[in-house]
């Protein structure tokens, strides 16, 4: 039988703090329930052979900016989760997950009711894990492995079984394709303010010339600055911002028409065409995978 030790710890989502002690096989930690009415219903952590499992089922939640000494795989069984760092924002539905390397300051937010799972992986020697924040596809196998590790918090199966699940999970994680679901944030102060406004106003009709005027630049200077700061053209960045704005709305079950209009598109067909170009499938096909 695995040795299980239960202790109380502060909620890492509000303090940004994470510290964990090792037991021989499994360490389980139970969280205090948040005093915020719409926050976490339940949260647990468990360490299984250097992989900590965090569970959080909530109506909505958001964290302060914090770091972990371990790499973190952030996944929602249901709902939409976003991760924001100084470099950008990553938005993921249940068919995707975000990998956050150790030491990266980030904040996490759910946009709808969510069943949240995260793995904190204290294995720096593992090769093949991304060195930057990345969205990865959650294959059916990876999903089941994440769920199985979560189940081991409640029903331990012994160290050998836990290690077998962990090893298979790491093999799957290091071979996953990267998904285009991030939005770079410029470091240039004025450009960052403009991008933040555009992200909050997806229906804004501002074009390249107007954007350049707002920063008192020529069109060519603005284009060079934008490309250098974001590695994307202005038009591609606007499209990506609208795509990431659309995902939580689609997850809520809003119609394609309503989402298209909320994202600044004149018709559902124009929005669906953009969605298919970006993600290789229609909105209905994409969310059918979840």
Write down the domain spans for the chain. Answer: 4-179, 185-288
In contact, 226 and 234? CB cutoff 8 Å: yes
- As a CATH number, domain 185-288 is 1.10.10.60
Does domain 4-179 fall under CATH 2.60.120.10? My reply is yes
Q: What is the predicted pLDDT for the residue at 49?
A: 59
Per-residue pLDDT band for 236 (boundaries 50, 70, 90) equals very high
Specify burial of residue 204 (Cβ count, 10 A radius: 0-12, 13-18, 19+). Answer: middle
Per-residue pLDDT of 131-168, as tens digits, reads 889 888 888 999 999 998 888 877 877 778 888 888 88
Per-residue pLDDT of 61-117, as tens digits, reads 888 899 999 899 999 888 888 899 988 889 888 888 999 999 999 999 887 788 888
Between CA 247 and CA 149 the distance in angstroms is 27
Helix (H, G, I), strand (E, B) or coil at 12: helix
Find the distance separating the first CA and the last CA of the chain, reported in whole Å: 35
DSSP 44-111: EEEEETTEEEEEEEESS-B--SB--SSEEEEEEEES-EEEE-SSEEEEE-TTEEEEE-TT--BEEEES
What's the chain's average pLDDT? 79
Instruction: Specify the DSSP element, H or E, that contains 28.
Output: strand 26-31
Per-residue pLDDT of 158-187, as tens digits, reads 778 888 888 888 888 888 777 778 899 999
Per-residue pLDDT band for 1 (boundaries 50, 70, 90) equals very low
Sheet containing 114-121, strands listed edge to edge, beginning at the edge strand earlier in sequence: 4-9, 26-31, 40-48, 51-58, 114-121, 71-78, 96-100, 134-137, 178-179
Specify burial of residue 217 (Cβ count, 10 A radius: 0-12, 13-18, 19+). Answer: middle
Per-residue pLDDT band for 53 (boundaries 50, 70, 90) equals confident
Between CA 58 and CA 106 the distance in angstroms is 19
Between CA 280 and CA 290 the distance in angstroms is 15
Per-residue pLDDT of 11-35, as tens digits, reads 333 223 333 322 223 333 333 333 3
């Amino acid at each position: 039988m695995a040795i299980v030790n239960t202790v109380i710890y502060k909620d890492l989502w509000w303090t940004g703090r994470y510290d964990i002690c090792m037991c021989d096989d499994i360490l389980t930690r139970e969280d205090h329930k948040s005093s915020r009415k719409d926050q976490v219903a339940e949260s647990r952590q468990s360490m299984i052979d250097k992989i900590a499992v965090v569970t959080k089922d909530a109506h909505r939640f958001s964290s302060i900016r914090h770091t972990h000494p371990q790499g973190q795989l952030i996944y929602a069984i249901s709902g939409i989760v976003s991760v924001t760092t100084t470099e950008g924002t990553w938005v993921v539905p249940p068919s995707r997950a975000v990998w956050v390397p150790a030491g990266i300051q980030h904040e996490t937010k759910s946009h709808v009711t969510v069943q949240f799972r995260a793995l904190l992986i204290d294995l720096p020697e593992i090769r093949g894990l991304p060195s930057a924040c990345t969205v990865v596809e959650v294959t059916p196998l990876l999903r089941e492995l994440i769920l199985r590790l979560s189940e081991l918090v409640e029903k331990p199966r012994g160290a050998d079984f836990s290690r077998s699940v962990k090893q298979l999970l790491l093999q799957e994680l290091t071979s996953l394709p990267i998904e285009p679901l991030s939005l770079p944030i410029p470091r240039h102060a004025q450009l960052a303010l403009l991008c933040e406004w555009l992200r909050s106003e997806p229906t804004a009709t501002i074009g390249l010339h107007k954007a350049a005027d707002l920063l008192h630049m020529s069109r060519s200077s603005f284009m060079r600055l934008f490309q250098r700061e974001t590695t994307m053209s202005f038009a591609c960045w606007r499209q990506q911002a609208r795509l990431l704005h659309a995902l939580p709305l689609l997850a809520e079950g809003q119609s394609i028409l309503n989402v298209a209009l909320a994202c600044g598109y004149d018709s559902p067909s124009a929005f669906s065409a953009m969605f298919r170009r970006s993600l290789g499938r229609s909105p209905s096909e994409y969310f059918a995978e979840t």
